[in-house]
Structure 1
Amino acid sequence: MTTTSLSKAAFKHIESELYYYHDTLKEIDRLRKEIMFGYNNEDENIGGGRSSEPGRPTERIATRLLTHKRLRNLEEMAEAILYAYESLSDDHKSVIKTKYWSQKRLTWDDVSIQLNMHRNTAMKLRKDVIYLIAEKIGWV
């Protein structure tokens, strides 16, 4: 992995993103639907006449999807987490699933016991995951 240091706050932020990865995916889906279909399907053109927005609704929606900052940030983090998950070893994946994606909030001692590895090994795998995600999103 990289030797560049990551601030404690950034480390904790990425770890938090790992905990809420599946919620992030749901939020991305919700935002995309909201952008594509709007809050509701009301006709804003009350009174007839031409719409003030130009035609080409597909281009308009595509532009909104690409320029929505929150959506972009969520997608970037989700892609980085997926990239890290898919590119690391089975041991790394086990740590991610057990610690971050389990319904139970386990301590690192519990994680190491459940995965039959030393606590220091689990912590090293954790650090590898966090730094790979940080590297992918350009934080290190």
Structure 2
Amino acid sequence: MPTVKERLSGGTFKHVEGELYYFHETKKELRQIKDGVLHTKANLPNVQRVQHLERVVEAISSVYDELPKEKKRLVKILYWTRPQQYNWEGIANQVPISKRQAQRWRKSIVEDIANRLGWR
């Protein structure tokens, strides 16, 4: 029997979006921490941070990898293009889809990532 999807709180939605915006920086930070841990043999204060970063990177990567190319394009334009030069109409035109469809895709992608992270 299918389960009813819980609605994400606004705070959780924004938090997941923040993780998406800074995904590449998070991957870089994770590499740097791991390199530091490897050189110092166990920097214990970083263990929880590393675990958190790994979970976030894995969740975003796995959701992104499963997306069709049009949705990947939306993610790239919306979250990973800096400076952001498009409003919703412009983003939708770049994909190309309707503004409303772009917003629905965004919501679905963010919810999928939140589900992978267990952030409900």
When normalised by structure 1's length, the TM-score is 0.76
Identity rate, percent: 30
1:86-101 pair list within 5 angstroms = 86-101=65-80
How far did residue 36 of structure 1 move?
1.3
Tell me the C-alpha RMSD between the 2 structures.
Answer: 2.1
1:1-140 pair list within 5 angstroms = 3-38=5-40, 61=42, 64=44, 68-105=47-84, 106-140=86-120
When normalised by structure 2's length, the TM-score is 0.88
Amino acid at match of 2:18: S
Separation in 2 of the partners of 1:107 and 1:75? 31
Separation in 1 of the partners of 2:88 and 2:47? 37
Amino acid at match of 2:59: A
Larger radius of gyration: 1
Unaligned regions of 5+ residues in structure 1, if any?
39-59
How far did residue 64 of structure 1 move?
4.9
Equivalent residue pairs, number: 117
Q: How far does the alpha carbon of each residue in 1:12-34 deviate from its partner, in whole angstroms, 9 at most, with x for none?
A: 01001101100000000011011
Unaligned regions of 5+ residues in structure 2, if any?
none
Higher helix share: 2
How far did residue 111 of structure 1 move?
0.4
Separation in 1 of the partners of 2:113 and 2:81? 19
Amino acid at match of 1:94: R
